[in-house]
Chains A and B, each alone.
Chain A
Amino acid sequence: MIASTLKCARSPAEALAPPRHPSVAMLKMLWADKFALAAAIFLLIALFCAIFGPSLMEEAATKLNLRDRNAPPFDTERGWMFVLGADSLGRSILARILVASQNTLLIAAASVAFAMLVGGTLGLIAGYSGRRVSDTIMRLADVIMSFPSLLLAVIVLYMLEPSILNLVFVLAITRIPIYLRTTRAEVLEIRERMFIQAAQVMGASSARIILRHMLPIVIPTLVTIGTLDFAFVMLAESSLSFLGIGIQPPEITWGLMIAQGRAYLNQAWWLAFWPGVAIILTTMSLNLLSGWLRIALDPLQRWRLEMGGNNNAN
């Protein structure tokens, strides 16, 4: 009832609002949520580093400097490159983080995207189709889930060459069931809703019902899980690297940097700390942004952001 009163109050204002271009409206909504804005800016920086980092910093990241081994952070004497300290071979941690961002983000993003795509598709099929297909898909997911993911990764990567592509493949396979199960559960619920029946009565095909009516409701959930999974994948990749079957030096990732820094934790915490911070900030930003996206994409919730924007503007 409160909601209905609220809607009534809103309608005239909306009717008056001139139609805006969707992207302008989106930017306005992003501006309204300052946390999401900060997250978006951070992610843009991270993306920039991932694309241009290796070509700009490659040299600094690989130059050995044994005199500065494990140099502490915030020491201005060595110049700004060493503001985050140096690793066990005297290389600038800052430069290494920037260079490593490429591999890290590439692997994580590709794995998550691949897992989300495959898991989401299978989940939609499993949820919408008949019992037989659904059961087959679900048992397949159970097999993957019941098999220890690390063991699977070890086997696959021993047989295949530990390249980035194979790593992405293995990480994605182990994460598929999560997306699959979530999607299926949501689809089972949405399938019973009245507007799906309304679409059936109009003669909508299964493809149309799935893509037009179900997917838009499922996607925000998948994106939210994906952002949380991003961190998991980064750490999983580091443990594979630690076992010697993931990314191998001289290639670097944030996970690998943490793994390497682990040996020095009691003498030089900053070796593992800074890449850890990078992982946390990335995950948190993704999470904040996905939370914002969830609201921005939902017509029922969008007013929260639009109102916030107006208040700031006034």
Chain B
Amino acid sequence: MQTETAHVLEVKDLAVEFHTVQGRVKAVRDVSFYLDRGETLAILGESGSGKSVSASAIMNLIDSPPGYITQGSITYRGQDLLGMTGAERRRINGCKIAMIFQDPLAHLNPVYPVGWQIAELMRAHGVEKATASARALELMERVGLPNAKARFDAYPHQFSGGQRQRLMIAMALGLEPDILIADEPTTALDVTVQAQILELLQKLQAETGMGLLLITHDLGVVADIADRVVVMNSGEIVEAGTTREVFKHPRHAYTQKLIAAAPGKGALHAVEPSQDGSAPLLEVENVVKYYGGLKALKGASFTLMPGETIAIVGESGSGKSTLARTLLRLEEPTEGRALYKGRDLFALSPKELFDMRREIQMVFQDPTQSLNPRMRVEQLISEAWAIHRDLLPRAQWSDRVAELLLQVGLLPEHAQRYPHQFSGGQRQRIAIARALAMSPELIICDEAVSALDVSIQAQVIALLDELRRTFNLSYIFIAHDLPVVRDFADRVIVMQNGEIVEMGTVEQIFNRPQQAYTRDLLAAGLEADPDIQSARRAERAAHAALSAV
């Protein structure tokens, strides 16, 4: 920070406050960072850390009121952004500083063709119509959209998630910005697509020399493409430095905790060979589910032993959730059998199904949505006993709720609160307590930790693991990426396009994957280690060069 003008973007001592009924809440305090041309700076933090607020301040996106920038300066090439008039600011926003977001579908207008939308931004900044359209087409090709010319007039819903993110990037690049702010650009994408988008961002950065400001909660993403990283926690920067330095020698306790929490480092579960004696808990035989012409599930078969954890891993559209929903009879299967303790789940009478509900429970992806917002925790958990009357006499309900809350790491007095008064991780604990209320034998977790922050993820997985040992539970654990299930599962099933691609012990899948898709999936997963990531990147590049020849 020797010369002020050396940095293309510099944020100094930024403080942002939100005025709420409780008084002022400081969302961000004393935040300083800078970004040079051609470099990638990552702002790493969990939800509520203030990383998005910092980025919003640069783009003038903070709603005021209730938000106020109370202190600090943001300079772009030496010009103070905060002191500018609205008109001056607009000339820089979008033009010199562009932004892409997590959910591209929400930021593309569904009623206009994508080519028109990309050109629109340029037209808004005074580029002529014909030039803008030509350039839009060129950009679509540049961000790697196949068949760009034919799809120029297609609408956003006709593109996949990864392609939509490419479109957003094309739109952002329209005016050749100096700075690109990417707010969780790959969070909503599948791992293999994520790897492609990150690669694209890096390639474009190398070509244009723009500065890339990456806001993310994902250590893997940071390790993959960032040059420098700023770690934020509850509104403050706790650590800053080059990615390598921070990842290898984290100085602050929070960073250390965060890096330690990254999944995929623990010991692999050894498979206990005691499987021969006992009867399997669940035998799934050739389950098929068609939605009209769409073949969501093309025949899945596997067995689950008592006390075992099977992870089903696959990207979106692989049929993993359909499988779970079918087993729980939330969907009716088109074909197949699922024998639970020898009885076919799909042939149960309503009465039998009702009894079966006690033994198989589910934990959903997003606890915010799976808990009724109008019910207190006590009502949520005791609903199980209200439905299954003979399970527990009413007089014991509140004692049992308190007990369950303690078991999942919450406090008995939490029983009187509503779900919105808890954090995401706590809410998932409530959902787990609810599933435990029935004393089930099998719990199906559908992406149960995907919506949570990394450190919380680790805690919830540890909790599930502990509960398994205490109650001898079996799990079917559905996830979209492999590292999460590495330290937790006994066996892994990899699914793609409605079919099981590979099945094996966790050790087999991670150390000796047989199928190409499994290897792709493993390679696309981002390790929270810059060295591993750069090695992989080099390998991929070599591979690509080889196949090009």
Contacts and interface: CB of A to CB of B under 8 A. Distances in A.
B21 A307 contact: yes
Contact of B22 (A1, A9, A195, A198): A9
B370 to A, nearest CB: 4
Contact of B416 (A19, A199, A304): A19
Interface in A98-128: none
A4 B384 CA distance: 29
A197 B25 CA distance: 36
B107 interface: no
A204 B387 CA distance: 6
B369 A195 contact: yes
Contact of B421 (A7, A197, A217, A311): A7
Contacts of B50: 1
Interface in A1-45: 1-2, 4-11, 14-15, 19
Given A194-B369, A299-B373, A5 B48 contact: yes
Interface stretch (B74-82, B260-268, B354-362): B354-362
B48 A195 contact: no
A208 B25 contact: no
A5 B25 contact: yes
A130 B259 CA distance: 50
Contacts of B328: 201
Contacts of B362: 198, 201
B25 A1 contact: no
Contact of B357 (A11, A19, A202, A311): A202
Nearest to B365: A194
A300 B418 contact: yes
Nearest to A11: B421
Contacts of B420: 7, 299-300
A161 interface: no
A257 B431 CA distance: 58
Nearest to B49: A1
Interface in B388-419: 388, 413, 416-418
Chain A interface residue number, banded = 35 or more
B125 to A, nearest CB: 30
Contacts of B353: 203
B85 interface: no
A1 B47 contact: yes
A299 B27 CA distance: 24
A217 B374 contact: yes
A203 B364 contact: no
B388 A198 contact: no
Contact of A194 (B354, B370, B413): B370
Contacts of A311: 21
Interface in B31-72: 47-48, 50, 52-53, 66-67
A205 to B, nearest CB: 8
Nearest to A311: B21
Contacts of B434: 198, 202
A202 B369 contact: no
Contacts of B349: none
Given A9-B25, A203-B358, A15 B413 contact: yes
A6 B423 contact: no
B30 interface: no
Given A195-B372, A217-B374, A300-B373, A1 B364 contact: no
A298 B374 contact: yes
B438 interface: yes
A74 B54 CA distance: 63
Nearest to A15: B413
A130 B354 CA distance: 21
Interface in B135-176: none
A135 to B, nearest CB: 20
B370 A195 contact: yes
Interface string A186-216: 0000000111011111111100100011001
B370 A5 contact: no
A303 interface: yes
Interface in A190-248: 193-195, 197-205, 208, 212-213, 216-217
Contact of A197 (B330, B413, B416, B418): B330
A5 B21 contact: no
Interface in B441-477: none
B441 to A, nearest CB: 14
A203 B47 contact: no
A14 B417 CA distance: 9
B53 A1 contact: yes
A304 B365 CA distance: 29
B374 A194 contact: no
B330 A201 contact: yes
Nearest to B48: A4
Interface in B5-22: 18, 20-22
Contacts of A7: 420-421, 423
Contact of A303 (B21, B47, B364, B366): B21
Nearest to B438: A202
B387 A304 contact: no
B54 to A, nearest CB: 11
Interface string A234-274: 00000000000000000000000000000000000000000
A303 B21 CA distance: 9
B47 A10 contact: no
26 contacts: A1-B27, A1-B47, A2-B18, A5-B25, A6-B25, A7-B421, A7-B423, A14-B417, A14-B421, A195-B373, A197-B370, A198-B370, A198-B431, A199-B383, A202-B384, A202-B387, A202-B434, A202-B438, A204-B387, A208-B387, A213-B372, A298-B374, A299-B373, A299-B418, A303-B21, A307-B22
Interface of A: 1-2, 4-11, 14-15, 19, 193-195, 197-205, 208, 212-213, 216-217, 298-300, 303-304, 307-308, 311
Give me the 5 closest cross-chain CB pairs, A-B, nearest first. Answer: A203-B357, A194-B369, A299-B418, A194-B370, A307-B21
Interface of B: 18, 20-22, 25, 27, 47-48, 50, 52-53, 66-67, 328, 330, 353-354, 357-358, 361-362, 364-366, 369-374, 383-384, 386-388, 413, 416-418, 420-421, 423, 431, 434, 438
Given A1-B50, A1-B52, 19 more contacts: A2-B18, A2-B66, A4-B47, A5-B27, A6-B18, A6-B25, A9-B22, A10-B22, A194-B365, A195-B369, A195-B370, A195-B371, A197-B364, A199-B372, A201-B328, A202-B384, A203-B358, A212-B383, A299-B374
